[in-house]
Chain A
Amino acid sequence: MAKMPLQFSLNGRDTAIFVNGGENMLETLRRGVGDMSPKYGCAQGTCGSCTVIVDGQPQLSCLTLSQTMEGRSVETVSGLSDGPQLHALQQAFMDGFAAQCGYCTGGMLMAAKALLMNNPNPSRDDVVEAISGNVCRCTGYEPIIDAILDAATKMRGRAM
């Protein structure tokens, strides 16, 4: 059974791997590369636990054909912190009790990061819209929204 070669950048590092035809990027990242941070929740795009960032935009890795990632830049929550230094979003999620079981958290953080990259000064509605494809079943949406707004404020402060 032939496998196909695939090269892409993962969290800024060049990555090369062989994938099965028809394989999705969630499987490639988790079982192929070994980055377990994107999670399987539904394999149909409805839950957002597998959200990654591709070339600066949020994307559902379960609905991404791995072979379309050739030469693209992929970011996961594994690469969010700067070494031991947490990203402002991570710190805000911790401080604001925005993670309970933690299963949706990686996807939420990626959706939030994509938002703040494109819009550093979001309104509450913008935040709600940005995470509208991400389900949290422990129902902590309010702390999650607060944490994202909190991180945005802190990041703007730092940039100035």
Chain B
Amino acid sequence: MIGFETYPNVDQAAAALRDDGVYFGGGTLIMRALNYGEQDFSRIVRTTDPALKQVEAAGDRVRIGADVTMREVIASSDLSFLTPVARSVGGPAVRNVATVGGNLFAEHPYGDFTVALLALDGRVSVAGGGEHDLSDFISSRTTFNGVVTSVSVARPGGQDFRYHKVSRVKPKGVSVMSIAAWLPRATGRISNARLAFGAMGETPLRALPVEQALEGTSLDASGIESALQAVIGAFNPPDDPLASGWYRKEVAPVHLRRLLLGEGEK
């Protein structure tokens, strides 16, 4: 028998989790586990706290409530740069319930939205206070037993943010890989680029060697050459039914080039 508890306040929900509770975002992954008898919880906990549904722009950053759904991301004018990313998650019925908070915990090859958050210098706020760098948070997510309240990201200027998802089924399909790049430019040259890849490891990952290789270069065929070299050894992707790790490694430079040069986008 699975219990179900709803709390008006997120701190109460976090306290109620204890050992056998699971926090319920949109439930797409929780219900799948339950339907297949693979649940490792006996209580479902959620909150109706309005704070988790808010999108708040402040200065050069924007804070996205953890319970905001992919559909709500698409509808939000403050998050227009994330529209293509949210649109790439599942089909309309999945997007209608799938949350930003839940995406942080979605296992390989899922987590496309988190890839974008990583590239945009995401910072995670959790119930009970505290803000964590998203990279650090993801690497230890399996041991996290609390509630994420929001994720804050940088608001990229104009054409500085790019996202590309590679999948075998169109228009909806699970990632062979997804790539997000935030490419701020100073006088035509890239400075402080941030790139992240999805489905290239157990979790979404930043591509530090690629970021370094892009520093001070221009976005043209010769400027990105060393970045394409750098991506080859950057990851050790797993095999899954969609693609082998070998294949993912081989095609990573191809998709990175298309993203950086704006080629092959439909």
Contact = CB atoms under 8 A, between A and B. Distances in A.
Interface stretch (B24-32, B148-156, B210-218, B231-239): B24-32
A68 B91 contact: no
A4 B27 CA distance: 19
Interface size, B (range): 20 to 34
A73 B3 CA distance: 23
Given A65-B31, A128-B171, A133-B90, A57 B44 contact: no
B27 A65 contact: yes
Contacts of A12: none
Contacts, number: 90
B34 A24 contact: yes
Nearest to A134: B91
A133 B172 contact: yes
A153 B235 CA distance: 50
Interface in B180-237: none
B97 A43 contact: no
B11 to A, nearest CB: 21
Interface in B100-116: none
A60 B1 contact: no
Contacts of B246: none
Contacts of A67: 4
A139 interface: no
B164 interface: no
A44 interface: yes
Interface residues of A, number: 33
A77 interface: no
Interface in A59-94: 59-60, 62-65, 67-68
B128 interface: no
Contacts of A129: 92, 171
Contact of B91 (A21, A22, A133): A133
A44 B38 CA distance: 12
A132 interface: yes
Contacts of A128: 171
26 contacts: A21-B1, A21-B4, A22-B1, A22-B2, A22-B34, A24-B31, A24-B34, A43-B35, A44-B35, A44-B36, A45-B94, A51-B93, A57-B92, A58-B96, A60-B94, A63-B35, A65-B4, A65-B24, A65-B30, A68-B46, A111-B92, A114-B92, A128-B171, A131-B91, A132-B91, A133-B94
Interface of B: 1-4, 24, 27-28, 30-32, 34-36, 39, 44, 46, 71, 90-94, 96-97, 171-172
